[in-house]
Amino acid sequence: MMKKEDLRIVYMGTPDFAVESLRCLVEGGYNVVGVITMPDKPAGRGHKLQYSPVKQYALEHNLPLLQPEKLKDEAFIQALGEWKADLQIVVAFRMLPEVVWNMPRLGTFNLHASLLPQYRGAAPINWAVINGDTETGITTFFLRHEIDTGEVIQQVRVPIADTDNVGIVHDKLMMLGGKLVTETVDAILNDAVKPVPQEEMAVVGELRPAPKIFKDTCRIDWNQPVKRIYDFIRGLSPYPAAWSELVQPDGEAVVMKIFETEKIIKSHQLAPGTLLTDGKTYIQIAAADGFIGVHALQLPGKKRLKTDELLRGFRLTEKFRME
């Protein structure tokens, strides 16, 4: 049996979520022979090129690094082949062409932040919270042609509390993901893997997708029931943040991001989006079957504030409305 020090691993990932798994491999004594991450991106006012979190970690630990623009580029394929990987691991990266995922003799596995086959796609954590799920999880699976459809190796289930936002769930899954990645490598080393085709797995209810989230996706519809709006807001908090237009008495509108809320179930005759406030301590917004109590929010160009902090510096009356 091969030892973990001899197993040549290539790791692929980009955001913070992917750093924890790489850290667990490096600190666990696994042989990471190379790291692949996205090219540097311009960020901020000066458009200074910014390293991905995975690149930052790789540089700090002197790990060989590739940042291909195109994953089918011949020079990249050749450089990847020279690393002679036995196994490739993908965490929050890009869709790989077959020439890449089929290269190592032991294959390529992916860590996905859902209980596959549920929530295939780019934003599984957001959609699980938006949809009001009470459970999610992480899955390792072997890569195949169709995205997020390969045979499942291992899964870990994680409860979602009614007060959890996507940031909290993200961090839980990230920490558990690092452990699951090393456990999956160990299982492959010990020849103890019995992968299960996703079509053979029991699923409760319908399969839900997890498409990429855009700005328009994040707009709040106040015609929805309170619970749906509450879940929608926490499923986008702290990032990218749910938003609505705050329409002023003169008709001018500004975008207001909303981060923390409470559910107030109460019958009323007000139009959805009607705003109730004492101008000092609370903001409540009418929904179909009650109100959303707003606890933390942000105006354009300002920092995120608690409701009472914002009301001290911004004159808000019940003549305003949300659309």
The CATH number that applies at residue 121 is 3.40.50.170
Contact between 289 and 265 (Cβ < 8 Å): yes
65 belongs to an annotated ligand binding site: no
Total count of domains within the chain = 2
Mark whether 161 and 68 lie in a shared domain.
Answer: yes
Same domain, yes or no: 12 and 133: yes
Residues 6+ apart with CB under 8 A from 133: 160
Q: Is the residue at 209 inside a domain?
A: no
Look at residue 253 and tell me if it is in a domain.
yes
Q: Look at the chain and count its residues.
A: 323
Does residue 134 sit in the same domain as residue 44? yes
Same domain, 66 and 136: yes
- 8 Å CB contact between 21 and 178: yes
**208 is a domain residue:** no
Whole-prediction pTM value?
A: 0.95
216 secondary structure, DSSP code: G
Q: Are 311 and 277 in contact (CB under 8 A)?
A: yes
**Cβ neighbours of residue 164 under 8 Å, at least 6 residues apart?**
129, 234
Is 244 among the annotated ligand-binding positions?
Answer: no
Do residues 100 and 40 both lie within one domain?
yes
pLDDT in tens, the chain (323 residues): 788 999 999 999 999 999 999 999 999 999 999 999 999 988 777 778 899 999 999 999 999 999 999 999 999 999 999 999 999 999 999 999 999 999 999 999 999 999 999 999 999 999 999 999 999 999 999 998 888 899 999 999 999 999 999 999 999 999 999 999 999 999 999 999 999 999 999 887 899 999 999 999 999 999 999 999 999 999 999 999 999 999 999 999 999 999 999 999 999 999 999 999 999 999 999 999 999 999 999 999 999 999 999 999 999 999 999 99
Q: CA 242 to CA 228: how far, in whole Å?
A: 13
Containing structural domain, residue 262: 216-322
Are 134 and 157 in contact by the 8 Å Cβ rule? The answer is no
51 part of a folded domain = yes
Question: Based on the domain organization, do 195 and 220 belong to the same domain?
Answer: no
